[in-house]
Amino acid sequence: DAKTTQPTSMDCAEGRAANLPCNHSTISGNEYVYWYRQIHSQGPQYIIHGLKNNETNEMASLIITEDRKSSTLILPHATLRDTAVYYCIVGQAGTALIFGKGTTLSVSS
């Protein structure tokens, strides 16, 4: 069973921030939140992960609520190349990742 719930699709204007939500209300204390994206016909690409604290890297920011039951992936300035399926995955470090259905993000000019 999926451990995460994401909206099926979202739209974003180019240059604006894209905020992708994810619910993971049954997350356990030692489980991480991972985000991957998959551009059409390519393999998934790792974006970011976090345990409790908010995280930022060159691609995105990850905001995790204090109770850890939900998180938001933020792409600060979306471009057309960010159009992809975004997967939010919950799992323990070192265990194989199980993908859910993901959110299709469409960025338009």
Partner 1 sequence: DAMVIQNPRYQVTQFGKPVTLSCSQTLNHNVMYWYQQKSSQAPKLLFHYYDKDFNNEADTPDNFQSRRPNTSFCFLDIRSPGLGDAAMYLCATSAWWTGVYNYGYTFGSGTRLTVV
Pick 2 or 13: Cβ nearer partner 1 = 2
What separation in angstroms does the CA of 78 have from each of 15, 16, 83, 93, 100?
Answer: 5, 6, 9, 29, 23
Residue type, 74: I
Pick 17 or 93: Cβ nearer partner 1 = 93
Residues that bind partner 1 (CB under 8 A): 32, 34, 36, 38, 41-46, 49, 87, 93-94, 96-102
Two structure tokens written together for 96: 């194989």
How near is the Cβ of 48 to partner 1 at its closest, in Å?
Answer: 9
